[in-house]
Structure 1
Amino acid sequence: MSTNRPPARHRSRRLLRAGVALPLITLSPLATTNLAAAEETGTDEPTQLAPLSVSAARSPVPVETVGSAVTVITAEQIEALQIRQVDDVLRLVPGLAVSRTGSVGGTSQIRIRGSEANQTLVRIDGIEVSDPSGDSDFDFGHLLAYEIERIEVLRGPQSALYGSDAVGGVIDITTKRGSGPLSGSVRTEAGSFDTREAVGTVSYGDQTFDALVSAQSFRTDGISSADERAGNPEKDGYRNRSAFAKFGWRPAEDVEFALVGRTVRYRADTDAYSTIPEDDPDDLTTGTQTFLRGEARYAMADGRWRHKIGLATTEHDRNYRDGDLITSTYLGRRVKADYQTDYGFETGAVSHDLSFGLDHERESARTWSSWAPGSVVKHDYESTGFAGEYRLGLYDQLFLSAAGRYDRNGLFDDQHSWRATAAWLIPGTDTRLRASYGTGIKNPTLFELYGYTNTYRGNPNLKPEEATGWDAGVEHSFLDGSLVVDLGWFRQDIKNLIQGNGPSSENLPGTSRINGVEASMTIRPLAWMDLRLAYTYTDGKDSHGEELVRRAPHIASADLMTRFLDDRARAGVAVIYNGEQKDWAYDASYARHPVTLDDYTLVNLTAAYDLTETVEIFGRIDNLFDEEYQEVLGYGSRGRAGYAGLRMRF
């Protein structure tokens, strides 16, 4: 953190006054420029502005003023490492654990700081994308990393900002938007397991209108989801066709309208849970995901008073099949309307920002199963939330915030949640201290309450999970920002933790406790080299003192990126370590007992070269040392694989 930067308060004000479109503009965490700010200072060159966080507060704020732990991954990092699945990107973030069943297209869950997967709120372009008809988590198995501008991960209880689901934290994904003259790009690649991918994008943007339209096709023959080492030779293929479009219109300086939509169609060959050798059934899942949001923004009082109103829909429609026979169908929908107003002002060297918002959502789930063919089962519920936040900046050094939320819904008692944060930029140093404390609420899912399968029945008597959590950290930069070290400590207590017990779900009595340490380091030893390191220690126990499953106590990652030949050539390496972890094994009567999965280390290599200004070739090797491992008991993983491709811009 350099001491010669403009004060954080003034940087924030410039950004907010630059235009009502700010929260929709994707911003690089390394450097952001703003021509309006340059006009204010009377210079010809754009002013370099601090990176912003779009999830850590009710409105965008400079990252260095945030008291919670937040990590931002940029499009440049994703592309340099040639990561094609978003869950693989998230393996680089401190505090996150990934569990995938088998190969590409297998169910993929993300746990933040030891919380359950459905205690993580996931947003894509401001749309909550969890599935109301499932476990109310988001399956990352079908989200491919194309045309993503940035991924922001906010850790710790955030229900005061976002309501239910944000117990462990928030994953906020922003896609690219159109900019500059009409242009386009095409990327194709192919490789191991008969994998083929093609992506095409068209983009345009000026001061009044911007548009980006993109489509992607991905297919692979894959591997057997059931571990091949157990005698399961049948390959389980995967097909994914996705498209999204993003539009923005600014008819006046202080007005903006935006529309974004995404659709995903997939077909995944799968294997049911089994540790029995040569038990490789012909299971298949097909589905469609549709996400849509429209938004209008208006600013007044020289940009100090801002208003935002939005409407979003989410739909998950999936079928489970045994060959050509449909065995069950699930349809989950969410419709959410929201309004927010923000006002900021200054009194001398003190800045004040207030935000107030309300939202109303309706979730519904419709299921049908051949195990109970008599009728289609439908369930839904509605909820309304009221939230407010006050942020205080003192002398460009100390930044405080307090947020609270009140929720009403048709199934449970009214709920209250709150959060407080502090960040201190110690004068005369390159040190930042941060701390936060908050509460979280996670309502039982419709599936946990009323769902059913051939072996499971919901429990309508479940209570909401309740959490309290704190974290504290210190960040210091050395050598004029060439080395940045961040250390953090966290603790989270969860009451009424919901766990599946085989035939149903139950609230565990008592309190489940999770403690841990997060550490990260960013190093630029040379102008053409960047190195990032991350490590997390998590000690998670349920109320019975048993280790929580699928949360390895030790997780670490490292990635190195280099540029040479006048930046025309690039090469990188990423190393992922996942320590031993517990998982559940089920016997024929669906009774469970814990087992230990071995640790593993993955090494991936990448390289790219610009043949011309518009043509690039690239290649990568995943799992260089052909590591054999399981992230979920009974499910296999991909061995060594190579891929190569071509990108053209026009």
Structure 2
Amino acid sequence: MTVPVRFPRPVARARLTIAALLAGTAFGALTAPARADEALLLPPVSVTANRTATPAAEVGSALTIITGDALERRQTRVVSDILREVPGLAVNRTGPMGGTTQVRIRGAEGNQTLVIVDGIEMNDPSAGSEYDFANLLAGDIERIEVLRGPQSALYGSDALGGVIAVTTRRGDGAPGLSAAVEGGSFGTRAGHAAAGMGTERFDARVSVQGVTTRGTSVADRRLGNTEADGHRNGTVSARFGVRPTDTTEITATGRFTRFRTDTDGFIGGAGAVDADQDTVGRQAFGRIQGRALFLDGRWEHVAGVSVSDHDRDYREAGRVTGHYEGRKTRLDYQTSLTVTTEPAEHVFTAGIEREADKAVSTSVWSFFDRSIASTGLVGQYRLGLFERLYLSGSVRHDRNDLFDDATTWRATAAYTVEGPETKLRASYGTGVKNPTLFELYGYTATYRGNPDLRPEKGTGWDVGIDQPLWGGRAVVDATYFRQRITDLITGTGASSANMPGDSRIDGVELGVSVRPLDGVTLRAAYTFTDGEDATGARLLRRPRHLASLNVGYRFAGDRADVNLGVVYNGPQTDWAFDAAYNRTVVDLSAYTLVNLAASYRLTDTVTVFGRVENLLDREYQEVWTYGTPGRAGYVGLRFSL
């Protein structure tokens, strides 16, 4: 894909991108059923699959794109909630809103998923190199990309399972202001306000969002726990861009979050129990990036620096019992050259990254202050032939201060059959996940790190097909995937160790998108995942069956909107601990969540909305002995100027 010489005006670029993405699917690397007047729009573009802007039709990896419009129609408030609808993703949260939230891709561990927001890597070095989705609010998001399968060849150690990349909105057009307020069950109050503008040379946007709730008990109330556990989150984000010339651009983005979450205690034999405990923290993220184009836009250069900082205190009865801080600093440079030799197009990409991770832990029983740095060299070649066949190959070499050098690679292919427009795709990749600083050096009253741990190594491949039907009003997709992980790190109770042998994960992802009538959209997905460790034991918190259904209906001249969402999470296993903290495997029951959302635009600037979550009032556990909220309702108003 040739990059245009000029940077488009933000207003034109944003409208084109959003319009294109609205024609894209929320499930799979395919285009969703399009309206007749959308037929000539560009296909959705991925900026994650190849680290450069690539039409989704040219991507051989399994890719999901979720638009800001989808988030708004579902009235999603926490990003992890919509990730439950993505094929291959399993979400586990300890209790109600604010509880620790893990996301696993295709059975990989939570710390094998790299999370990126506006180019900033969010994984926390002080929390096992994992990103906790508990405090990522969904307001002001333009799109989410989910890339499944090993991506270490492009993104390094944390991407053994896949990548989740979030892009927030930019300033667009004349100065504008939008705001929303809502309230509802459990004493919940929430709000969001944003102001922005954009011209040919400059754009700016500032967003403020927050939520406070009395909550429900973190420990399952069915086990006799009655204390309500509240949560507060305030987030400020900003994006600025300036284009001094037609071929240069400088952007800056920042995000700051403060939160307080009531938690409960944990006792061997009983599990989670009511306690006067909470977690108070802050998160600060920032990035500055420069971009320049040469050779009529065919040669692109991007350089940036980013910093992420996680800081939190664990408290009991108001007294700090543990303090953790994780900091990640990253310098990166990437260049990409596009060469066209009819009927072929060649794209050469190379990059270098320097990353430093630091973790500090202070508690009544421990102290450690450790850091580790690495340098990664990335190269990729993409070939497009006859606008039908697209191939890519990438390789990465990482030099680490502590571990042996590692080389990973990845190859993809995508081919569209002329006539039926069937898209065939396949990918194969290798990955590596280095032990975390806590696994190596951390300790508590009952745990000691293991400095002799070896990096986890993985391979994965998938094959898939995307088939448009009914004149483009329907698209079905199917993917088979297989992954193997060697030297999987597992907790032994007192420490951590590499498990000998291979852990295996196999599965199938199915999806369908249909637009049967004007104004009606239907999207469904199903995932079967079969995962076992090297001993043959089933992998924990990986349900074999996941399914989702979403039906949207716009009517009354697009002034009214109704959205029905159904999520099914099949039976899964978890650890249970006796009074001596010896662990055994327990089964967690399946559950089905039904959510209903509706909105009506009263005027051109005022919209009223409401939703019911867990409509059927299901009681279930995502983590052993941790509770979940029952039925809840919310109403609100949205304004725009």
Fold similarity call, TM over 0.5: yes
Would you say 1:296 and 2:287 are equivalent positions? Answer: no
Write out aligned runs for 1:324-335 (5 A).
Answer: 324-335=318-329
Instruction: Name the counterpart of 1:352.
Output: 346
Q: CA deviation at 1:236?
A: 0.5
Q: Which residue of 1 aligns with 2:543?
A: 552
Distance apart, 1:169 and its partner CA: 0.4
| Corresponding position of 1:462 | 453
1-side partners of 2:470 and 2:625: how far apart? 48
State yes or no: 1:321 paired with 2:323.
no
Match of 2:57, SS state, is: helix
Residue 272 of structure 1: CA displacement? Answer: 2.8
8 Å Cα contact 1:178-1:205 kept in structure 2: yes
Q: 1:176 aligns with which of 159, 169, 172?
A: 169
Runs of 5+ consecutive residues of structure 1 not aligned to the other structure: 1-11, 33-44
Distance 1:182 1:329 in 2: 42
Residue in structure 2 matched with residue 233 of structure 1 by the alignment: 226
Show structure 2 runs of 5+ residues with no match.
25-37
Point out 4+ residue stretches in structure 1 off by more than 2 angstroms.
15-22, 24-28, 45-48, 272-279
Q: Check whether the contact 1:203–1:213 (CA below 8 A) recurs between aligned residues.
A: yes
Amino acid at match of 2:324: Y
Residue 7 (structure 2) pairs with residue 19 (structure 1) = yes
RMSD, matched Cα: 1.6
1:499 shift after superposition: 1.1
Deviations 1:67-100 (A, max 9, x none): 1000000011111011111000101100000000
1:567 maps onto 2:558 in alignment: yes
What's the CA shift string for 1:7-47, capped at 9, x where partnerless?
xxxxx32x54453899x966542359xxxxxxxxxxxx997
Aligned to 1:127: 120
**Are 1:61 and 2:54 matched, yes or no?**
yes
Name the SS for the 2:624 alignment partner: coil
Paired residue for 1:435, among 422, 426, 435?
A: 426
Deviation at 1:371, TM superposition (A): 1.6
Is the contact made by 2:359 and 2:371 (CA closer than 8 Å) also made in structure 1? Answer: yes
Find the counterpart in structure 1 of residue 624 from structure 2: 633
Q: Is the contact made by 1:405 and 1:417 (CA closer than 8 Å) also made in structure 2?
A: yes
2:574 alignment partner in structure 1:
583
> Which letter maps to 2:7?
G
Q: Deviations over 1:537-585 (max 9, x none)?
A: 0000000000000000000000011001001000010000000001011
Alignment partner of 2:374 out of 374, 383, 390? 383
Output aligned runs, 1:273-284, within 5 Å.
Answer: 273-274=266-267, 276=270, 279-284=273-278
Task: Give the Cα–Cα distance (whole angstroms) in 2 for the partners of residues 328 and 278 of structure 1.
Answer: 19
Letter in 2 for 1:370: V
**Does structure 1 residue 266 correspond to structure 2 residue 259?**
yes
Q: Give the conservation status (yes or no) of the 8 Å contact 2:272–2:626.
A: no
Q: Is this contact kept in 2: 1:496–1:507, CA < 8 A? A: yes
Answer whether contact 1:19 1:303 (CA < 8 A) is retained: no
**Cα pair distance change 1:47/1:517, threshold 3 Å:** closer
Q: After superposition, give the CA deviation of every residue in 1:339-394 in whole Å (9 maximum; x if it has no partner).
A: 0000001111100000000000111011111124xxx4210011000000000001
The match for 1:108 is 101
Partner of 2:503: 512
The CA deviation at 1:589 is 2.0
For 2:147, the equivalent position in structure 1 comes to 154
For 1:213-262, what per-residue CA distance to the aligned partner results, in whole angstroms no more than 9, with x for missing partners? 01112100000000000000001000001000000000100000000000
| 1:324 aligned partner, one-letter code | G
Say if 2:609 is the partner of 1:618: yes
The alpha carbon displacement at 1:119 in A equals: 0.3
Q: CA deviation at 1:58?
A: 2.4
Q: For the Cα contact (< 8 Å) 2:9–2:201, is it kept in 1?
A: no
**Alignment CA distance shift 1:277-1:295 (3 Å):** closer
More off after superposition, 273-282 vs 167-176: 273-282
Kept in 2, the 8 Å contact 1:344–1:353? The answer is yes
Q: Which residue of 1 aligns with 2:478?
A: 487
Q: Do 2:271 and 2:577's aligned partners in 1 also have CA atoms closer than 8 Å?
A: no
Choose which of 630, 633, 641 in structure 2 pairs with 1:642.
633
Q: Whole-Å Cα distance in 1 between the matches of residues 508 and 4 of structure 2?
A: 34
Contact 2:6 2:246 in 1 (8 A): no
What is the aligned partner in structure 2 of residue 140 from structure 1? 133
Q: Decide whether aligned partners of structure 1 residues 277 and 257 sit closer, same or farther in structure 2, where only a CA change above 3 A counts.
A: closer
Letter in 2 for 1:521: V
Query: 2-side partners of 1:503 and 1:242: how far apart?
Result: 37
**Percent identity (aligned):** 51
Distance of aligned partners of 1:241 and 1:81 in 2 relative to their CA distance in 1, 3 Å threshold: same
Separation in 1, partners of 2:329, 2:265: 32
TM-score for the superposition, normalised by structure 2: 0.95
Partner SS for 1:447: helix
1:29 corresponding residue in structure 2: 21
Q: What's the CA shift string for 1:574-610, capped at 9, x where partnerless?
A: 0000000010111122211100000000100011000
Partner of 1:221 in structure 2? Answer: 214
Asked if structure 2 preserves the Cα contact closer than 8 Å seen for 1:20 and 1:254, the reply is no
Q: Does 1:606 align with 2:597?
A: yes
Give the distance between the partners of 2:589 and 2:291, measured in 1 at CA.
51
In 1, the alpha carbon distance for the partners of 2:444 and 2:309 equals: 21
SS in 1 for 2:306: strand
CA distance in 1, matches of 2:39, 2:202: 22
Aligned residue-pair number: 622
Amino acid at match of 2:180: R
| CA positional deviation for 1:273 | 3.3
Equivalent position SS for 2:77:
coil
Over residues 447-504 of structure 1, what are the superposed CA-to-partner deviations in whole Å (9 max), with x where a residue is unaligned? 1111112221111111000000000000000012111000000000000001112121
SS where residue 557 of structure 2 aligns?
A: coil
**Are 1:402 and 2:390 an aligned pair?**
no
Q: CA contact under 8 A between 1:96 and 1:113: conserved in structure 2?
A: yes
AA paired with 2:307? Answer: T
Kept in 1: contact 2:90–2:104 (CA 8 A): yes
Match of 1:527 in 2: 518
| 1:595 aligned to which of 586, 604, 607 | 586
1:172 deviates by: 0.5
Q: Distance in 1 between matches of 2:512 and 2:610?
A: 27
Q: Is residue 2:330 matched to residue 1:336?
A: yes
Which of 192, 196, 199 is residue 199 of structure 1 equivalent to? 192
**Aligned partners of 1:477 and 1:433: how far apart in 2?**
12
